[in-house]
Chain A
């Protein structure tokens, strides 16, 4: 079955540690995205990538880093520079192009900083 997988589902981290969230898709989509969701709020774009080896900052990129070495993978690293990292992180993918195509979301990773 085609889809997007994110791992782990729950992640606990101590303050000052970097942590990497995994996102893999087998939909052959060109574009991939990372969003952050805080309780009771909407989705905010962290980073996006429309092609391998290229990515762009979203609205809240500070304290995060990404890589796009393979079309199907787009890992997100939450660094110690992110002051308030506890949140629900969602990865999405879509066909690139105009108009913006439907974004399909993974199940999410809930990150808690202890």
Chain B
């Protein structure tokens, strides 16, 4: 089943923070986060493996709560370049194919 992302869309002013959630109805092995600009290919951000780890990538970080079967992506002090659609891809077991969520559209305004 497809993971559920929330919110579906968010509008920010430059410098504001945002949180995007990715929830699964099944236990997760890993979560992959991607960002896609309109009409372009998704770009890889980070992978989180089960174990409740947190990763950081400049001002974008993510956590993985295995118990809650959920991952959250944190965007801090947002920049105009952060605009795009964010997708999570979930893997339910090692070696399974990724199943992507419906995406969260993020718009950062000056």
A102–B47 touching, CB < 8 Å: yes
> Of the 9-residue stretches B11-19, B55-63, B71-79, B98-106, which lies at the interface with chain A?
B98-106
**Which residues of the other chain, B, contact A107 by a CB distance below 8 angstroms?**
40-41
Interface: B65 (CB within 8 A): no
A54-86 contact mask (Cβ, 8 Å, vs B): 1 or 0: 000011000000000000000000000000000
**Which residues of the other chain, B, contact A100 by a CB distance below 8 angstroms?**
30, 32, 91, 94-98
**Which residues of the other chain, B, contact A88 by a CB distance below 8 angstroms?**
39
**Which residues of the other chain, B, contact A40 by a CB distance below 8 angstroms?**
103
Other-chain contact of B29, A33, A42, A48, A99 (Cβ < 8 Å) = A99
B87–A90 touching, CB < 8 Å: no
Other-chain contact of A106, B32, B41, B44, B47 (Cβ < 8 Å) = B41
**Which residues of the other chain, B, contact A45 by a CB distance below 8 angstroms?**
97-99
A104–B44 touching, CB < 8 Å: yes
Q: Taking each of B2, B43, B47, B98, which has the highest tally of chain A beta carbons within 10 Å of its own beta carbon?
A: B98
Write the residues of chain A forming the contact surface with B, with a CB cutoff of 8 angstroms.
Answer: 33, 35, 40-45, 48, 58-59, 88, 90, 97-100, 102-108, 110
Write the residues of chain B forming the contact surface with A, with a CB cutoff of 8 angstroms.
Answer: 2, 29-30, 32, 34, 39-44, 47, 49, 87, 89, 91, 94-103
